[in-house]
Amino acid sequence: MPVIEVFIEDFRELLGRDVTIEELQKRLPMLGTSWEGESEEGFHLEVFPNRPDLLSIEGLTRAYASWTGAKTGLIDYPVKKSDYKVIVDKKTQKVRPWFVTAVIKNVDFDDPLIRSIIQMQEKLHMTHGRKRRKVAIGLHNLKPIEFPVTYTTKPPKFKFRPLGERFEKDLTWMLTEMKTGKEYAWTVEGFKEYPMILDKKGMVLSMPPIINGEYTRIDEVTSEIFIDITGTDLKAITEVLNVICTTLADRGTEIHEVHNHYPDGTVLTTPNLQPWVMELDNKYVNHTLGYEFTPKQSAEELEKMGHGTKIKGDIIHVSIPSYRADIMHPIDLVEDIAIAYDYDNFEPEIPPISSPAGEDPKEVFSRGLRNFLVGFGLLEVVTFMMSNRDKLFTRMCLPEEPICETSNPKMEAYDSLRNRLLPSLIEIISFNKHHPYPQNIYEVDDVVVIDPSTETGAKTKRRLSIVLCHARANFSEVKALMKGLLDNLALKAEVEEGGWDCFIDGRRFIAKVGSEPLCWAGEIKPEVLEAWDVEMPVAALEMDIDHLFRLVYMES
Amino acid sequence: MILVPLWGRLVRPMNPKEVAMQLHENERKVLLELKERGTATTEKLALHTGLSRDAVEKASGWAETKGVVSFKEKVSQFFTLTEEGNKYAKKGLPEVNLRNLLVHGAQEIGSLKKTFEGINIALAWSRRNGWANIDKGRIELTEKGRDITDLVEDRLLKTLYKSESVEGSVFTDTERDIIEQLIKRKLVIKSEHMDKSVAITKFGKEVIPELESTKGVRIITQLTPEMLANKEWKNAVFQRYDVSLPAPSVTPGKRHFISQIIDYIRRFWVELGFKEMTGDYLELSFWNFDALYQPQDHPARDLADTFYMKTPYKGHLPDPKMVEQVKLTHENGWTTGSKGWQYKWDPEVAARNCLRTHGTGMSVNQIAKLKPEDLPGKFFSVGRVFRNETIDWNHLAEFYQTDGIVVGEGVTFRDMKGYLKAYMEGLGVKKFRFRPGYFPYTEMSMEAEVWNEERGIWNELFGAGMFRPEVVKPLLGLDVPVLAWGPGFDRLVMQSYKVNTIKELYSNDIGLLRRAKLWME
């Protein structure tokens, strides 16, 4: 989630009062942000991705002023009529179809505003913009631009002078040689022609979402700007445009509309900073929050979140500001009321609901088993589910089998799910060579195996593994242990020679109850111990607990 | 693990009778032996008590802690002739032989070099000792050389020659200096011997009569089945132990502390009236994300955080009717009253398998299984979840979460605070708060935070919220309030067990497991 830096002086100036860091540290989190600590000239704040309007200091101050009661209710953001015209070429529709724009006049680009705009633009690109692929923002000096502006595409050989370069370069050069080009080339990968914004004279404003042209460079004397937002999702780019325009409007600028002509004949006039209306039933508010707000109280709380309200009986007509992209259901307004009233002010309560309770029977069984095994002097371990082929097969001298494997692991050591428990326990023994022996350990936990009959094609299975490791660990000891366990569950197993290849031939067995195998056991091969760098004999078993559970559970 | 009996150490003034009863058989033997001798080396004691020297030393050590003997270790030096030393002992040292020759008058060096054995050594040492002078090719004794009455070197060699080795204390200081010289000349070698001797103390002497009064009485150290069988114990006395002595701890078989805490958490939820739900680690993206109303391009679904499966790559979507409802809700809000995310929902993305990134997939799976007559219901789960992380001291690819949901008409935001307050208090958290948070699938969203006294800041502990209608209605068919939460508990376990890193928590270090305290709640 994005973290912004807020300069406390800028915040105070916009708020119009001498707020302290202590107050903000205490209060801002309750507005729905996360305090990330003080910085040299202010503080760092994490803003939730559903509130892009808080990414600028202007937006944050606006929300804080209203929430603390200084300036509540809906703010009107007028948009001036104009003749600015933009043409969206058909060629863009297959690569980056959406384009919205605005003109802002009377801008005073002082340091705080530049800082705020650059930070907001960067954070919007990362989060809402999904690293510029979904949304890309371009700010231009309006002065040199001759309308209509055209949004089109150009072949890779097309040349223009990109921002920060002295000469014209072709588009391929920009994608392969420039820093931003290389960073964002993936967003236009596979395109035959690249998106391009030009004015009437054919001068380049921008190659979105890569780089702007030098032609419309903004500097400290710029007082009128043209904003372009391109992207793959109209809803997202509109939200971003509204957030930027309202931020600039808070600085006393004038917003002018632009008419965007789409190839199908549609004309989108942007920005549209008009609020939209949602109806909220006050009964729904109280029903959800467990409270008894009057409609008037609810409306007051909503105004503290910047909404406009009109009450008609139990129904509140809420005018939602254009920058609040996150409101999509009345429940979002209920949350706004809860935040406005302050989460701290809701008394906790436990409702008198009676419903059947209890643990999962297999978990109860597993716990019984875990407690019982302690009686043998065994130490329980809790190991990772994730493993890899080397640990599961190569080091265990076991033949490779299909297992559940991830496609994008960050670490090779943990790229698959284990299909046996035993390798995890041997690994623990290999980590603990510096501790005294005997090291007799066990675990009752899950493994995952391939099973095409399930929804995912994999199945979780519960296993028990016991590893006995000391100078005299042997076959009889582990067999006696299994017998002790089964005797106590009133079960008798048929023991057959054979089983897993990690055990010494002639000193291993499979125990069956009925036709299904229940347990595999024996003395671990020296080859396996060598592969794990274990210098102490090991006798071990692994048991199918799902099977054991069925045997015991069915009987009782 | 077998407990070995330990013998006593004097920790407070005791009476002779009590101490006498604390003495082991071997200690009694040593002490009685010292009654006459007062002091004796362990060697001698071994000889006379019939015990091994090792046993004598151990017994004397124990006896010393009880104040009845004092134990002294003395280092003795022994000197022995080398082979060359032996030769000179027989033939005489060259310089002594030369001196004895020169007593009869001066000699020409030239002729001596031809006839005198070891002339170079003789000349060197004569000069160093100041016995002789060389003048114009002639050598003659000095006054010192002529007046020697005691040829110490010669005498010492002869003394050493007589016995195999001689203890150093018999020599005078002058003699010791000469011996050091002989050692340098490699004629004599020195060896050291540790001599341990034991002396009876004043208190020890007071104990003796007590010992003698019980002489012949059988003192029992370890009671044996034989003694019980032949009733020998009836006429015997039990050696008394000093019960204040430290004993080694027995390392028992034991449950892992994480597993003990999981048991506790299960019991906690059950006591609050919750029913357990279980699920699989490998889940459809549909359950992990889509059913939770997470848009398909949401950053949380990125490869960076989620393990997607290579095998099995994808699965089958569940009930088509429900899937269609989920799809429509994403696209336009369906009948939930929402605007939806307004994008084209792709069933292929939802069919992709992943490792569950939270336990919340189990919760929505549970909701999908519920029928209206099952409501209200309270459910919990405890299990591992997975994050595609690079593992370091503070990050693991898998850890535990305990998810909970309360489904039912009339459950409220305040109820959620109530349950979570109970959970925090149940885990012993004293200072905590709930602040607004953000999750795509909850509204109200809430972050539970715990006060970090050391750093003076709030630490995020877990997220919670009420499922959005866009989550509940497509799965259940009804818009019913659902409270949901998904706390991890690693941080609390770390605090409780004074473990500094998450990695250590899951290290299965056997030393740590053996000494970790029991979770007794």
**CA of B85 vs chain A CAs: smallest distance (Å):** 52
Poorest-pLDDT segment among A373-377, A474-478, B105-109, B228-232: B105-109
Kindly report, residue by residue over B316-330, the tens digit of the pLDDT. Answer: 999 999 999 999 999
| A231/A169 same-domain check | yes
A329 vs A331: CA distance, rounded Å: 5
* A chain contacts of residue B376, beta-carbon cutoff 8 Å: 353, 355
pLDDT at res. B3:
36
Calculate mean pLDDT across residues B505-511: 91
Calculate mean pLDDT across residues B382-392: 88
Render B27-92 in DSSP notation, one character per residue: HHHHHHHHHHHSEEEHHHHHHHH---HHHHHHHHHHHHHTTSEEEEEEEEEEEEE-HHHHHHHHH-
A190 vs A187: CA distance, rounded Å: 9
**Beta strands A204-207; A194-198: pairing state:** antiparallel
Residue A484 tokens read as 């002790």
* C-beta atoms of B469 and A331 within 8 A: yes
* C-beta atoms of A411 and B391 within 8 A: yes
| A244/A281 same-domain check | no
* Other Cβ atoms within 10 Å of B120 Cβ, number: 10
| A231/A295 same-domain check | no
Q: Residues A290, A291, A297, A303: what is their CA dihedral angle, to the nearest 10 degrees?
A: -30
Render A194-247 in DSSP notation, one character per residue: EEEEE-TT--EEEETTTEEBGGG---TT---EEEEEEES-HHHHHHHHHHHHHH
What is the SS3 assignment for A250? Answer: coil
* B chain contacts of residue A460, beta-carbon cutoff 8 Å: 280-282
* A chain contacts of residue B415, beta-carbon cutoff 8 Å: 290, 349-351
Poorest-pLDDT segment among A276-280, A552-556, B454-458, B476-480: A552-556
| A180/A227 same-domain check | yes
Query: Is the pLDDT confidence value at B1 over 50?
Result: no
**CA of A400 vs chain B CAs: smallest distance (Å):** 14
Largest CA distance in chain A: 93
* C-beta atoms of A405 and B446 within 8 A: no
Calculate mean pLDDT across residues B419-446: 92
B251 vs A27: CA distance, rounded Å: 51
CATH of the domain at A328: 3.30.56.10
Q: Would you identify the CATH topology of the domain B258-515?
A: BirA Bifunctional Protein; domain 2 (3.30.930)
What is the SS3 assignment for A118? Answer: helix
Q: Which of B270, B311, B377 sits opposite A402 (nearest CB)?
A: B311
* C-beta atoms of B446 and A343 within 8 A: yes
A431 vs A425: CA distance, rounded Å: 10
CB–CB contacts below 8 A, A to B: 277
* C-beta atoms of B412 and A379 within 8 A: no
pLDDT at res. B128:
84
| A28/A110 same-domain check | no
A452 vs A153: CA distance, rounded Å: 47
> How many residues would you count in chain B?
521
Adjacency order of strands within the sheet including B69-81: B39-41, B188-200, B69-81, B166-167
CA atoms within 13 A of residue A524's CA, in its CB half-sphere: 32
What is the SS3 assignment for B202? Answer: helix
* C-beta atoms of B443 and A330 within 8 A: no
Q: Which residue of A has its CA nearest to B306?
A: A408
Listed in sequence order, the DSSP H helices in A327-360 are 330-341
Poorest-pLDDT segment among A125-129, B83-87, B491-495: B491-495
A222 occurs within a structural domain: yes
What is the SS3 assignment for B250? Answer: coil
* Other Cβ atoms within 10 Å of B229 Cβ, number: 8
Which of A 131-150 lie inside 8 A of B, CB atoms? 134
Q: Is A242 exposed, middle or buried (0-12, 13-18, 19+ CB in 10 A)?
A: buried
Q: How many domains does one find in chain A?
A: 4
**CA of A329 vs chain B CAs: smallest distance (Å):** 4
| Phi, psi for residue B402 in degrees, rounded to 5 | -125, 110
Query: Is the pLDDT confidence value at B508 over 80?
Result: yes
**Beta strands B482-485; B398-407: pairing state:** antiparallel
Query: Is the pLDDT confidence value at B2 over 80?
Result: no
pLDDT at res. A413:
85
Calculate mean pLDDT across residues B229-233: 91
CA terminus-to-terminus distance, chain A: 53
Pick from B120, B118, B145, B119: nearest CA to B131: B145
A239 vs A262: CA distance, rounded Å: 19
| Phi, psi for residue A425 in degrees, rounded to 5 | -75, -40
SS3 letters across A66-87: HHCCCCCCCCCCCEECCCCEEE
| A190/A288 same-domain check | no
| A266/A280 same-domain check | no
Q: Which of B259, B445, B481 sits opposite A382 (nearest CB)?
A: B259
Residue A107 tokens read as 């801008």
| A309/A415 same-domain check | no
pLDDT at res. B13:
54
Q: Would you identify the CATH topology of the domain B16-75+195-238?
A: Arc Repressor Mutant, subunit A (1.10.10)
A426 touches chain B (CB under 8 A): no
ipTM score over 0.85, yes or no: yes
Kindly report, residue by residue over B10-36, the tens digit of the pLDDT. Answer: 444 578 888 888 888 889 889 888 988
| A45/A189 same-domain check | no
* C-beta atoms of B255 and A371 within 8 A: yes
Query: Is the pLDDT confidence value at B216 over 80?
Result: no
Kindly report, residue by residue over B250-267, the tens digit of the pLDDT. Answer: 888 999 999 999 999 999
Q: Which residues of chain A carry a pLDDT beneath 50?
A: none
With tokens 């770390």, the residue in question is B494
Query: Is the pLDDT confidence value at B385 over 80?
Result: yes
E strand residue ranges, A381-432 = 386-387, 405-406, 416-417
Torsion sign across C-alpha atoms B280, B282, B287, B293: positive
| A112/A58 same-domain check | no
Q: Which pLDDT band holds residue B415 (cuts at 50, 70, 90)? A: very high
pLDDT at res. A29:
95
pLDDT at res. B172:
85
Listed in sequence order, the DSSP H helices in B78-148 are 83-91, 94-102, 109-115, 119-129, 143-147
A194 vs A144: CA distance, rounded Å: 23
**If phi over 0 gives left and psi between -120 and 50 gives alpha, with beta otherwise, what is residue A320?**
beta
> Position A311: which residue type?
I
* B chain contacts of residue A291, beta-carbon cutoff 8 Å: 412-414
Q: Domain range for residue A313?
A: 276-342
- CATH number for the domain formed by residue range(s) B83-185: 1.10.10
> Could you tell me which residues come within 8 angstroms of residue A300 by beta carbon, excluding any fewer than 6 positions away?
A72
With tokens 């009676």, the residue in question is A354
Are the C-beta atoms of residues A459 and B281 closer than 8 Å to each other?
Answer: no
- The distance of Cα A296 from the centroid of its chain, to the nearest Å, equals 37
**Per-residue DSSP letter, B8:** -
Pick from A427, A298, A326, A291: nearest CA to A63: A326
Torsion sign across C-alpha atoms A213, A215, A216, A218: positive
pLDDT at res. A555:
65
Pick from B224, B206, B185: nearest CA to B85: B185
CATH topology of B16-75+195-238 equal to that of B258-515? no
What is the SS3 assignment for A151? Answer: strand
* Helix axes of A21-32 and A8-15: crossing angle, nearest 10 degrees: 80
**CA of B242 vs chain A CAs: smallest distance (Å):** 28
Which of A 158-217 lie inside 8 A of B, CB atoms? none
Which of A 308-367 lie inside 8 A of B, CB atoms? 328-332, 334-335, 338-339, 343-344, 346-351, 353-360, 362-363, 367
| A32/A136 same-domain check | no
**Beta strands B237-238; B219-220: pairing state:** parallel
Domain boundaries, chain B: 16-75+195-238, 83-185, 258-515
**Beta strands A258-261; A85-88: pairing state:** parallel
| A85/A179 same-domain check | yes
The mean pLDDT value of chain A amounts to 95
**CA of A294 vs chain B CAs: smallest distance (Å):** 17
Q: Which residue has the higher pLDDT, B205 or B217?
A: B205
* C-beta atoms of A409 and B275 within 8 A: no
